[in-house]
Each structure stands twice: as structure tokens, then as C-alpha cells.
Structure 1
Amino acid sequence: MSDEPHFLREERVEISRADANSEAAVEPLQLGKRVREIRLSQNLTLEEASKRTGLARSTLSKIENEQISPTFSAVNKLVKGLGIDIPQLFSQPKRSAAAGGRRDITRTGTGTPHPTPTYEHEMLATQLTSKKMIPYRTTVRARSFEEYPEWVRHDGEEFLYVLKGSLLFYTEFYEPIELFEGDSAYYDCEMGHSLVSTSEADAEVIWVTA
């Protein structure tokens, strides 16, 4: 028989029960879903994330779709390539218990730069996590559709507003259409899409991804 006082054993049992109840209330982490959330929050395609992390595009896709579990080496590559730390990868996004006063102001030219071969993005409202919308300002560097190795596609819906210049808006199921300053478009992001500047200076747009 244990020499531990009875009241300590009872206290330990109560703590164990509380821990069990707490664990039962915690939603299990879906690592693949978390990787996808982080990738999309940075407006990265699978191809771009593959180049950043050094992981094959097919491997990333399998991880995001919970078809395989990442190895320790793959986790390190994800963390380094996506510019995050390990706790961010293995923690659920924080959710507010009730509607609150979230606010984020981005001063002119102070957004987070994210250049790609075809676009030069300026990510806006980057201090807020778990956003329902991802806003960013983009300079369209591409001058030909052939500059895109594949269609840009990702989850969600997207709103596009032309700030400066003109561009050709390519979509997978429609003919290309030229958009001018003040024009806008709303579309399904899972449909392949891309932009090509047609004005003398590179076009500039505001994108909001939901």
C-alpha cells in the first residue's frame, strides 16, 4: 500500500479528471490543414511554397491533404521556408470567444513585401492572425502569359480591383479580358487565374482573398 496521504491521492485523481476533460474539449490538430492555412495566409501557391521549403510540390500536397505525416526533416524545412516557428505550426489558430475590436492599420509602404517572378506583393494587415480575408497590394510584373509555368489556383474566393494601369485577366474557363483603372472582378480562386500588365507601366491592383 502507498504511504501517500489519502487527501493527496484524491487531489491527484481530481486533477487527472480535469486534465482528461480539458483534453476531450480540445480539437485535435490537423497538421495538414494548419500547413495549408499558413501557406494561404502568405498567399503562396503550392509551387511557390515548394521552392521556399525545398519540399516537392507533390509532397506538400500530400501533407496538406493528410495523406502523409511530415518527417522531422520536412517539419524543419516547412518552418524555415515559411518563416515561422515550430509552435506556430503545431498550435491551433487563436479564436476569439466573442466578436471583439480587432484592428490593424498598415501605413503607406509599410506592408510586408513578398516578391515572386510575376508579381510583387505587399501584404497588408499582417499583425492580425486567423483573418477571414487576406488583403494585399500587388504590382503586376508579368508581361506575357507564358511567364507563368502553371495556373495560379488556391482555396477560397477573391476580389480584384485595378488601382493603376491596365492588364489582361486570364481565367481557366473564360476568354482573357482587359481590365482598366477602377475595374474589378470577383471569382473562384480554385479556378486557374493570372494577370499580365498591358499598360506602359506595370499595373497595380488590390487583392482580397477570402
Structure 2
Amino acid sequence: MPQDRHYAGDTIHESLQVHQGETEATLQPLKLGERVKALRLGQSLTLEEASKLTGLARSTLSKIENEQISPTFSVVHKLVHGLGIDLPQLFSEPSSGAQPSGRRDITRRGEGRPHPTATYEHELLATDLSNKKMVPFTTRVRARHFEDFPEWIRHDGEEFLYVLSGSILFYTEFYEPVRLNAGDTAYYDCTMGHVLVSVSESDAEVLWVTA
């Protein structure tokens, strides 16, 4: 049974560090109405014009912009498509004076940096970029039993997991194990102990993004 200690076998996790500056920006709750209005005005659209583009009533748009109602998922979908924006643009305001860094890295299929361990076979992606805010990698899950791990895996940050193929049992320190199949995802706190084991006929493959 894994103990409440860091698992040294998977050294990839030992190197995943969240680099922070000397000061941290104070996170303010997003005022979605103000964001919708800013996006509309940024395209020089009147409420009537935005209404025609989104298929939403002018009164509905006005109430959203004035924080009188919160948009449903269906309304958000109409806003995104009607205004011709991506979903992240609606929910995140660009930083004042932010300039694009021009950073880009492409990893072709099978050309990532291999990092095999006793339980996982990792392929590190975007390895030409240093000081990344996210660390993406794919993994073939070779472990078949919970007992294959002498200790919990834990590290700083948060992690997103996407099952590419096969099926896994996702063990976490404070929850019951859950089966995840191809297309299923999980987002979790990495300081909480966690391990994966394959339960499909062939080894499962997953995509991990650690921040």
C-alpha cells in the first residue's frame, strides 16, 4: 500500500516546478457582463447589431452587460459564435500592455523525449521551450496493479489528465478509485497522492498537462 511520501521512481515529477515571480497578481473575479460589452464595443457593434449576430434579444444582451442575469451555457455558445471569438477570450481579459512573446514549439508524433520508468513510459513534449508555465507529456501506463507503486506520486501544482486510448483506474489519496475510458478527463491537485493503472487489454495511453 503506498505510503504518504513522494514517489522517487518517477523523476519527471520531481522536476515539475511552478515558477513564480517575486510578487503575484491579485486575482479579481471576472465581471462577465463588462467583458461581453467590451468585446461588443471592440467590434463597434450596437446592441441591435450584436442581437442579430448572436440571435439573442437586445434586452437579454443588455441585462447580461449590466450584470442583471448570468448567461446559460446555451447563451454563452451563441455569444462566442455570434461575436466570432474563442471561448477563452470571453472568460479571460487580456493583460494591460501585454505583448506576444512569439514562443512556439512543435513536437511531431513519436518525436518527444522518452522518459521510461518502472510503471509509466512518458514522452515529454515541447522540450525546446524552457520555463514553461505548463508541462505537457503523454504516457503509456504500464502499471497493472495499485501495488506496483511503492509510494504515492505527488508534486507541486495542478494537473489535467486526458485518456487517449484504453482504460485506467485513477487512484487518488482522498477519493475512491474511478475508472476512466478513452475521452474521459480529470483535473486535480497534484499534492494529493495519485497513481494510474491500466485495466484495458492493452496499455492505456494518456495525455498529462501539469501547471
| 2:8 alignment partner in structure 1 | 47
Per-residue displacement from partner, 1:131-188 (whole Å, max 9, x unpaired)?
Answer: 0000000000000000001000000000000000001000000000000000000000
Alpha-carbon deviation of 1:102? 0.1
Cα 1:108–1:114, aligned 2, differ >3 Å: closer, same or farther? same
Q: TM-score, normalised by structure 1?
A: 0.55
Per-residue displacement from partner, 1:84-108 (whole Å, max 9, x unpaired)?
Answer: xxxxxxxxxxxxx954100000000
Q: TM-score, normalised by structure 2?
A: 0.55
| 1:5 alignment partner in structure 2 | none
Cα 1:201–1:188, aligned 2, differ >3 Å: closer, same or farther? same
The answer to whether structure 1 residue 208 and structure 2 residue 178 are counterparts is: no
Alpha-carbon deviation of 1:49? 7.3
The answer to whether structure 1 residue 193 and structure 2 residue 176 are counterparts is: no
Per-residue displacement from partner, 1:48-68 (whole Å, max 9, x unpaired)?
Answer: 378x9xxxx9xxxxxxxxxxx
Secondary structure of 1:47 counterpart: coil
Same amino acid, percent of matched pairs? 68
CA contact (8 A) 2:141 2:205 kept: yes
Alpha-carbon deviation of 1:46? 6.0
2:110 counterpart letter in structure 1: G
Q: Give the distance between the partners of 2:104 and 2:202, measured in 1 at CA.
A: 33
Map of 1:1-210 to 2, 5 A cutoff?
47-48=8-9, 99-210=100-211
| 1:65 alignment partner in structure 2 | none
Q: Give the distance between the partners of 1:161 and 1:47, measured in 2 at CA.
A: 24
Q: Give the distance between the partners of 1:98 and 1:148, measured in 2 at CA.
A: 44
Aligned residues: 122
Richer in helix (by share) = 1
Q: Give the distance between the partners of 1:98 and 1:153, measured in 2 at CA.
A: 35
Cα 1:98–1:186, aligned 2, differ >3 Å: closer, same or farther? same
Secondary structure of 1:190 counterpart: coil
Cα 1:162–1:49, aligned 2, differ >3 Å: closer, same or farther? closer
Q: Give the distance between the partners of 1:47 and 1:137, measured in 2 at CA.
A: 19
Alpha-carbon deviation of 1:47? 1.2
Q: Which runs of 4+ in 1 moved over 2 A?
A: none
Unaligned runs of 5+ in 2: 1-5, 15-97
